[in-house]
Amino acid sequence: MSLCMGCMQEIGNHKICPSCGFDTTERQQAPFLPYGTILSNRYIVGTGIDTNGESTRYLSYDKQTGDIVIVCEFLPIGLFSREEGTTDVKINYENRLIYNKLKDEFLNFYRILSELRELSALMHVHNIFEENNTVYVVEENEDLIPFEEYVERSSGHLDWDIARPLFMPVISALEALHRRGVGHYAIAPKNMYITASGKIKISGFATENERKRGTSLKSQLFSGAAAPEQYEDNFPLDDITDIYGFCATLFYALTGHMPKNAVERRKDSRLLMSTTTVKRLPPHVVSALANGLQIERENRITDFDELRSQLSVAYTAKAIQDEISRTASMNLTKSERNRKASNGMSHISIVIISAAVTVLVLGIAGVFWLMQNPLSGMFDNNTDASVDATQNTEWTGATIPNYVGMKYDDVVKKDETDDTITVYKNYSDDYSDEYPEGVVMSQFPSAGSKITQEDSVVISVSVSKGSQMRTLPKVEGEKLDLAAADIAEQGLLAKAEYEYSDKEAEGRVIRYKEHVEGDTLEYGSTVVIIVSKGKEPVSTTP
């Protein structure tokens, strides 16, 4: 069976996949696994999907089940090397201790994740194994809709009645992770997906080392969703950190835009939510968002039970229900029964009506309280929803640079001076009549894409090999070394043969052996040039 490495569908003898357009002649460049690598004698590795400072994920095929899966490989940037076309990860002597420590933490993290299969919001882990001096994790591959796309399709925001059943399982999933001593720490719209059955799935898993500054890994933080403490070197992360990311993502779902970067919010903590949006949402939800997105940790919601309660107003409803039950259980006195008969209304009825009125008053007071209490300063006082929408649909943050048309060597030099971007010569180099050899002809993500993560933005580039057919330059009369250099500049190899010449001095090129100037040869071909040995010696006879 011949598989397309781009989509894992049968491709037969096609060089270009009819399903996804993948070119089967392409190679996956180091340090990523070569196309077709077989892991654990079971998984066929295809194209790379994404990478961060800690790991890389590949589309793969499970020979045992016939399923398309995702294989995640532990690949900590800067701590390993892998030669072209090989699979073994090599570790420098000075990096071996930190590499092994990080690998053990990665392994432990995914073992915990694999034991939480009953939680619908978590991606399911099918297998974990060690090979090639690293760790591999096999994840399910569902047909999913990116959460951002889902929100865009829903008029740019979700109503609370839609968002609530989506997000409540996420709270349970995060709570379960933290009970096992690990967290997600990258809850953000880009790491959320919607299944065909209409449920949320969380992606973007990594150890704590990848989700904060000051570790041996290039951190990956998502703008607007990363909590303030994640920007501090080696600050201990906990459930309060994940609560910030959860509330930021829920804020995005309900408003259509993210909160400002946490570093910026230290200067101005207000949340851009128009009055129209505030009125559209239940007061307790707005209050919970404000509490969950507090910059100072001591003011933030501190645990998942509290978060769940504030989003469901369980504390208010339960108090009312308890009061009704307590009153109903009392023995009514004779005079109370007489009042009931004379007034036509029981004490219980009065309590129930009072409770209903209390709920109504609480709702009205809640809106008033949000406008008057100290939390109200967290919200933009914009009263025009259309203006607010205009402000939030125009991206003003950082974007992916454009490397197309640049020499790859210049891109690498630029990358070395920018700690926030890592460029890999990745996936497919190919011939091009449009781009000269050594010039970037495509990149992923594309130029201008939003950068919503703070660090370790990884960009893969495809570098041109130049035209496949190369033209032979003029070499007649040139010195051998100069002629060979001119030929090499065309991507061709030169081989010399020698003969005597009355025309060209010794060491000068006489001609091509089987070609002439202007002929075209395929890139990498070898061409023979005839080099002068000087004039043939004249024999003298005695």
User: Which DSSP letter does residue 208 get?
Assistant: G
Band (pLDDT 50/70/90 cuts) for residue 288 is very high
Nearest to 71 by CA among 90, 91, 92, 87: 87
The answer to whether residue 45 scores a pLDDT higher than 50 is: yes
What is the structure's pLDDT at 272? 81
What is the structure's pLDDT at 450? 72
Residue pointed to by tokens 């969380």 = 202
What is the structure's pLDDT at 297? 94
Separation between Cα atoms, residue 398 and residue 401, nearest integer Å = 9
The model's pLDDT over 514-539, given as tens digits with 9 standing for 90+, comes to: 999 999 998 888 999 999 999 888 87
The answer to whether residue 95 scores a pLDDT higher than 50 is: yes
End-to-end CA gap in the chain: 79
Q: Among residues of the chain, what percentage have pLDDT more than 90? A: 55
Angle at the Cα of 28 (from 445 to 110), degrees rounded to 5? 75
What is the structure's pLDDT at 417? 62
35 or 362: which carries more pLDDT confidence? 35
270 or 389: which carries more pLDDT confidence? 270
Nearest to 452 by CA among 56, 158, 146: 146
424 or 28: which carries more pLDDT confidence? 28
268, with CB counted inside 10 A (0-12, 13-18, 19+), is exposed
417 or 155: which carries more pLDDT confidence? 155
What is the structure's pLDDT at 277? 87
Band (pLDDT 50/70/90 cuts) for residue 437 is confident
Identify whether the C-beta of residue 457 lies closer than 8 Å to the C-beta of residue 400: yes
Mean pLDDT of 208-233: 92
The 3-state DSSP class for residue 57 equals strand
42 or 52: which carries more pLDDT confidence? 42
The answer to whether residue 257 scores a pLDDT higher than 80 is: yes
Separation between Cα atoms, residue 138 and residue 57, nearest integer Å = 9
The answer to whether residue 43 scores a pLDDT higher than 90 is: yes
Identify whether the C-beta of residue 3 lies closer than 8 Å to the C-beta of residue 401: no
Bridge partners for 473 per DSSP: none
What is the structure's pLDDT at 425? 66
The answer to whether residue 314 scores a pLDDT higher than 50 is: no
The model's pLDDT over 467-481, given as tens digits with 9 standing for 90+, comes to: 888 899 999 999 999
The answer to whether residue 341 scores a pLDDT higher than 70 is: no
Nearest to 166 by CA among 180, 139, 145: 145
Tokens (6 digits) for 448: 């201008």
Please tell me the least confidently modeled range out of 32-41, 376-385, 492-501: 376-385
Mean pLDDT of 136-149: 94
Mean pLDDT of 271-293: 90
The neighbour count for residue 318, using CB atoms within 10 Å, is 11
The answer to whether residue 378 scores a pLDDT higher than 60 is: no
Separation between Cα atoms, residue 123 and residue 141, nearest integer Å = 9
What is the structure's pLDDT at 383? 37
Mean pLDDT of 236-252: 97
Please tell me the least confidently modeled range out of 81-95, 292-306, 360-374, 501-515: 360-374
Tell me phi and psi for residue 462, to 5 degrees. -105, 125
Q: Identify whether 76 is preceded by a cis peptide bond (ω within 30 of 0).
A: no
What is the structure's pLDDT at 88? 95
What is the structure's pLDDT at 453? 60
Side chain identity at 474, as an amino acid letter? K
What is the structure's pLDDT at 340? 44
The answer to whether residue 408 scores a pLDDT higher than 60 is: yes
Q: Which span out of 8-17, 179-188, 391-400, 455-464 was modeled with the highest average pLDDT?
A: 179-188
Identify whether the C-beta of residue 536 lies closer than 8 Å to the C-beta of residue 499: no
Separation between Cα atoms, residue 144 and residue 123, nearest integer Å = 11
Is pTM beyond 0.85? Reply is no
The model's pLDDT over 152-180, given as tens digits with 9 standing for 90+, comes to: 999 999 999 999 999 999 999 999 999 99
Using H for helix, E for strand and C for coil, what is the string for 437-485? CCEEEEEECCCCCECCECCCEEEEEEEECCCCEEECCCCCCCEHHHHHH
What is the structure's pLDDT at 184? 97
Please tell me the least confidently modeled range out of 258-262, 368-372, 492-496: 368-372
Mean pLDDT of 88-116: 94
What is the structure's pLDDT at 380? 53
What is the structure's pLDDT at 243? 98
The model's pLDDT over 185-202, given as tens digits with 9 standing for 90+, comes to: 999 999 999 998 999 999
Mean confidence (pLDDT) of the chain: 83
What is the structure's pLDDT at 368? 46
